[in-house]
Amino acid sequence: MSFLLSVFQAICHILLATLVALHPASAAKHGDADTASAETGGRVVLAAMRAPDTGYWHTNEAQILDSWNRPVRIQGINWYGFETERGIVGGLTVQDYRTVLETIKRDGYNTIRLPFSNQMVESPIVPRDIAFTNAGGPINEDLRGLNSLQVMDKVVDYAGAIGLKVILDDHRSEAGDSAEQSGLWYTPAYPETAWLADWQMLAQRYKGSSTVVGMDLRNEPHGADADGACWDCGGERDWHLAAERAGNAILKVNPKLIIFVEGTDSYHGDATWWGGNLEGVRTSPVELNVPDQLVYSPHLYGPKTYRQPWFNAQTTPASLESVWHNHWAYISEFGIAPVWLGEFGTTNQPGDLEGSDPGTEGQWFGSLVVYLGRNPDIGWAFWALNGEDENGLLDASYQFPVNGRKQQMMSSIMSGASVGAQEVAGVEPLR
């Protein structure tokens, strides 16, 4: 037996050496097994050992399906930064981007919503907010000298290597924070023609990888009752018609991508969150040239962000659900299309996570988590991963949840079967 064991160990050593020779980039990052364990805590993902892929996604009534027609629930996280003047996702001054992605995967999330700006796409910078060493040793070495768009390529590639999906989000035109102030999807410097061209470029850039499964056309259109984006109003401000133009332009390049369409902030005077009102879908749905590739994506926040009129002394979980039904949940309930709650979040204060006092942040957030638990067809993405954010899921080290109870609540609405981490053995994808 000892002889056979020695032979087996020798063969394994030869195979490992061969892999290192074939994948020098991995060798530079991981070295031998002992070095890899020291650098990454034993989490090693060689280029030749990519996680099984669920392929591109499509839809059927209220469900998103993978390439084998299995239901997928998007249980996502927003990792922002590319849209800002920094031009890079948060946390890379303290942590290796691969470690952050592995943390996302470890904590049960299956999708990353990745905001960017049109300025970043058209004029990418070499980011300064990045470190190449921390207390554990070298980090982000393969990002040295890369511009923002090339860094995004690296993030997407490694996300796919460990089985995560990515949804790209056109967060704003000029680099900056939050949504575009005008509420529109274009500015004088970045007209609609540029917006469409940038989307087509990104669709082409990632066409060879089903890691990027969809495009969130524009973050939080708003200003419907002023001079911003409106739904079914006609003219150059009509967001639902612009969404059709952009969706069809993207699908012309890659017909397998999911098109995510947010709402506006108001419809016929019924106001809610930026991007959160999809009442117009009842009479004027978005119509794309490729069927079964459309998902609607509202945003939702609590009274700490803004005290909407439905947050009051009479608020109950049932009254909150009635508001959600009217603004967007009916789309899923009636099987019109899938719904993905592209942003929601709260702080890490215990009272903001759960509570029974009417009209409070805790009542709202706890009620929403319960609602999502009862409605597994509705996907979601928490805002945000970033450790520097008031709502941040991770701590300042970008390795661990800052509030264990918040992560428990997120885990409670994760559907293990919907993660779709494995291919169907021996069966070709249907799409």
Contacting residues for 73 by C-beta, under 8 A, at least 6 apart: 64, 376, 377, 379, 414, 415, 418
How far apart CA 249 and CA 381 sit, in angstroms, is 25
How far apart CA 224 and CA 164 sit, in angstroms, is 35
Tokens of 37: 């364990």
The catalytic residue among 102, 343, 354, 361 is 343
Tokens of 32: 């031998």
Exposure string (b/e) for 180-202, b if CB count within 10 Å is 16 or more?
bebbbbbbeebeeebbbbbbbeb
The catalytic residue among 83, 102, 180, 220 is 220
Closest listed residue to residue 378, CA positions, set 428, 313, 325, 301: 325
How far apart CA 238 and CA 251 sit, in angstroms, is 20
How far apart CA 105 and CA 76 sit, in angstroms, is 10
Place of tokens 């080290």: 397
How far apart CA 329 and CA 254 sit, in angstroms, is 28
Q: Say whether 141 is catalytic.
A: no
How far apart CA 30 and CA 138 sit, in angstroms, is 11
Cβ–Cβ under 8 Å, residues 153 and 209:
no
Tokens of 270: 């019924």
How far apart CA 111 and CA 74 sit, in angstroms, is 6
Cβ–Cβ under 8 Å, residues 342 and 299:
yes
CA dist 403 → 382, 394, 397 (Å): 14, 8, 13
Q: Say whether 343 is catalytic.
A: yes
Q: What's the first-to-final CA gap in the chain, in angstroms?
A: 48
Cα radius of gyration (the chain)? 22
Exposure string (b/e) for 34-61, b if CB count within 10 Å is 16 or more?
eebeebbeebebbeeeebebbbbbbbee
For 300-342, the DSSP string reads ---TTT---TT-STT--HHHHHHHHIIIIIHHHHTTSS-BEEE
Cα three-residue angle 170-176-181, rounded to 5 degrees: 75
Report the catalytic residues: 220, 343
